[in-house]
Amino acid sequence: MSANNRTKQSESYAIIWILAFAMVISVMNSTMFNVALPSLREEFQLSSSQVSWVVTAYIIIYAIGSVAYGKLADMFRLKNLITFGLCCFALGSIVGFFSSNYWMVIVSRIFQSVGASVVPASSMLIPIRYISIANRGKALGITSAGMALGTAIGPIIAGFVIGFASWRYLFLISFLIIVTIPLFRRYLINEAPSKGKSDLIGGILLAASITLLLLSIT
């Protein structure tokens, strides 16, 4: 293997590890706040159904956004989509940390989910676009491991943070995802987007279906 090929391969795997880290934070952001619900309920004097929207709002938009970003990646540069998404995620984390009212918490969670949903969409696209077929399985395994790790350690970290500080510091943990933005900007190429058309009606119907399903379960 030539030095040039080895460099390209190392750069390809660098973007996979960066993506895996972003996946950990993205998934943690969902599971962490399950632990914070009792604290939020007590502080803002909420009912169980009201406080559950901290998690429900995130999951609804996260599910819709994961599909939407997949389509948008055919129309816009993936580098720019990820930058936009992670900036929204970071903005939501800042708003959440300084929340003094419950509605601010919900707004922050909405911004977080709008941004975080770019990560699962990218976890499918980046291995396909940047990793050879022979190594693609390994790359997908790494990103899947990031998802599993985030699911597992989210409640543990949340319990530790809430035990020693406040639920607001969970938003600071989520804010760590901002460190991946310059790395994504470095390793993702400026690929030319295709001239695809968006299925607006289909997107609205999909969003409505997912929302109504999750609301009925909630």
Number of domains in the chain: 1
Report yes or no on 22 lying in a domain.
yes
Report yes or no on 43 lying in a domain.
no
Burial 175-213 (b: 16+ CB within 10 A, else e): bebbebbebbeebbeeeeeeeeeeeeeeeeeebeebeee
Model-wide pTM > 0.85: no
Using a CB cutoff of 8 Å and minimum separation of 24, what contacts does 73-78 make?
73/121, 73/122, 73/125, 74/193, 74/194, 74/196, 75/193, 75/194, 75/195, 75/196, 75/198, 76/193, 77/190, 77/191, 77/193, 78/122, 78/125, 78/126, 78/129, 78/188, 78/191
Report yes or no on 3 lying in a domain.
no
Report yes or no on 8 lying in a domain.
no
Report yes or no on 42 lying in a domain.
no
Report yes or no on 194 lying in a domain.
yes
pLDDT digit string (tens) for 143-166?
889 889 998 999 999 999 998 888
Domain span at residue 78 reads 13-35+48-217
pLDDT digit string (tens) for 110-141?
899 989 999 988 888 888 888 888 888 888 88
Report yes or no on 6 lying in a domain.
no
What CATH code is carried by the domain that includes residue 60?
A: 1.20.1250.20
Report yes or no on 106 lying in a domain.
yes
